[in-house]
Amino acid sequence: MQDYTLGLNEPQKEAVLHTNGPLLIIAGAGAGKTKTLTHRILHLIQNGIPANNILAVTFTNKAAQEMKERVYALLENDQNTNYQKTPFIGTFHSLGIHILRNEHKILGIPSHFTVLDQTDSRNFIKDSVKAKNLDPKQFDPKKIQSIISKQKGECMTAEAFYPISNTGYFPRIVAEVWLDYEKKARKEGAFDFDDLLLKTLMLLKENQSVREKYQDIWRFIHIDEYQDTNTVQYELSRILSGKERNICVVGDADQNIYSWRGANIRNILHFEKDYPGAKVVLLEENYRSTQNILSAANSVIQKNKIRVPKNLFTKSQGGEKISLYEGYDENDEASFVAEKIRDLVKKDVSYQDIAILFRANYQSRAIEEAMLSADIPYQVLGVKFFERKEVKDVLSFLRAALNPDGAIDMKRIINVPPRGIGEVTLKKILAGETESLPATAKKKVLEFKTLLGKIKETALKNKPSDTIKYILKETGMENGLSLGGEEEQERIENLYELVTLATKYDMLPEEEGIQKLLEDAALASDQDSLMHKNDGSRVRLMTVHAAKGLEFGNVFITGLEDGLFPHKSFGESGVSQEHKEEERRLFYVAITRAKKRLFLTYASVRTIFGSRNMTVPSEFLSDIPEELIEAEEGRTKEFGVGKIVYL
């Protein structure tokens, strides 16, 4: 039999070969956690565990796709493995969709329910604010959306929140808007991202037969990035593993950087209390970065107290020193970055192997200007492919065809391209009063509904890519855009890219393929924009939060100033120890994105809110041993432990 443990280090092998009972894998950045997980899944299947009894959950589509491809490659390359079915590998949200769709009859919801993206969800909330005769400018839908999302992440429902919302005027407003929002969403057969998890958890808790069904299906559970789980994800993991306790979680407390969206570091720190007798494996050997970069990361993170002690190392010693540059202001800082990138490219470094990281989104302005001035192609991570108007229009045609109750999609595409259907007519359609319309309007509505019927028929019988082509042609979108100028040409290229992307789902059964396409589109993250070929070879600009899980040969970390990184909100008087530790973890994550070269920069003067302010270098810089640093000539003359000295 082929030895699939060859190529694994001893701790990785130990984790792979552990079969029964709870397992905690503490995996440092770049320590091969995906390799360990995928080989563990292969080991289970080779030892007689049916593949469909294995569940693996992570946080992003990109991470799930990578894990899936690597598992399938291992299975296909192993001649001793005979498998008919496959493990379920996906995100927490795709897991929720899978269960809710399977149990839609029990829940009384449509099988083709709509998944609201953040914009759609906010629009629903805005409608609910207006329905309460409130001003959306005073009662910001985005703020209310954030509060509702956080409460759902803590397993709170609208019905449970209302009785406890009498602590003030604003909480009661949130409670009333939330109830109305839920009512509107249910009427349309729609769920937001948080519902996908909360409704699934509630179903499993309240319905014993459904709970036991999935506990029997998934007897071996794997949770990636466990340090990022919130309360509802923690409870989902626990309830699914409740029977046999064959749960393997992988994570790193040093990379917990999402507390602001509910991630609870205690979930990973308390794993051994939650699962007594759990085996713990520590992965410290790094396969990504040079030793100099790792030494800097270790020096920074060891200052934190809320963590599991570990020390990253690599067998390839040394590496280039870490570059440090002090710019006069943010424009000088950005110009330095652009100049260094041009030097790197002259040394045959690819643009796409370079990333510029920043703590706050507004920092990108000066950097973008420098990139444009230096004629350096770049991409700002965060412009999602699936949020482009023309792409959303096509997907709305598809969703409206499959879920006729989805008013939000109907509103979006009833006049795409223009059909002369006005606001009054639309209101009557949504109210089910089509028969009361004038003959001309009634004819237009009938033609539109006939079109949706044809799209549904096509979607359920044809490949997803062919269905997208059909929508482009039959709706008139393709013809309309082809007659336009440069902007329209770019939009039609995006639609052709959507057709190309849809071919990924052509191998699935027709209805399943369409559902998976819509699911992935709704749950797309910023990182998914890296997966589209239209982005080409460009330097990546992104926040450190968005960079989590990515790696680049050359990384610039900019804005390393007190108040910016570590970050302190404007007007904030003090910073708690927990917040400071999370900021330090964020810097650790930023450092460990780099494989070969790391550049650290800051400005002496930065313009914020139109005001020029003198700055102080980040305290994090003094945590890096001076022997690892090389000051860039002309600005920072000396770097000392615990201080920056200007000469």
Give the residue numbers marked as catalytic: 33-34, 224-225, 255, 593
Q: Please classify residue 497 by burial: count the beta carbons closer than 10 Å to its beta carbon, then call 0-12 exposed, 13-18 middle and 19+ buried.
A: middle
Q: How many Cβ atoms from other residues are within 10 Å of residue 319's Cβ? A: 20
Output the CA torsion sign for 523, 524, 525, 527: positive
From the list 377, 417, 376, 371, the residue with the least C-alpha distance to 394 is 417
Token duo for residue 184:
């509107």
Look up residue 563 and give its DSSP letter. B
From the list 285, 290, 288, the residue with the least C-alpha distance to 316 is 290
Distance between CA 292 and CA 314 in Å, rounded? 10
Distance between CA 31 and CA 287 in Å, rounded? 6
**Residue 143: which H helix or E strand, with range?**
helix 141-153
Cβ atoms of 297 and 312 within 8 Å: the answer is yes
Token duo for residue 502:
């849809």
Cβ atoms of 521 and 386 within 8 Å: the answer is yes
Question: Which residue type occupies 404?
Answer: P
- Indicate the Cα dihedral angle 511, 516, 522, 526, nearest 10°: -150
User: SS3 for 55?
Assistant: strand
Beta strands in 381-503 (DSSP E): none
User: What angle is formed at CA 141 by the lines to CA 380 and CA 192, rounded to 5 degrees?
Assistant: 75
User: CA end-to-end span of the chain, whole Å?
Assistant: 66
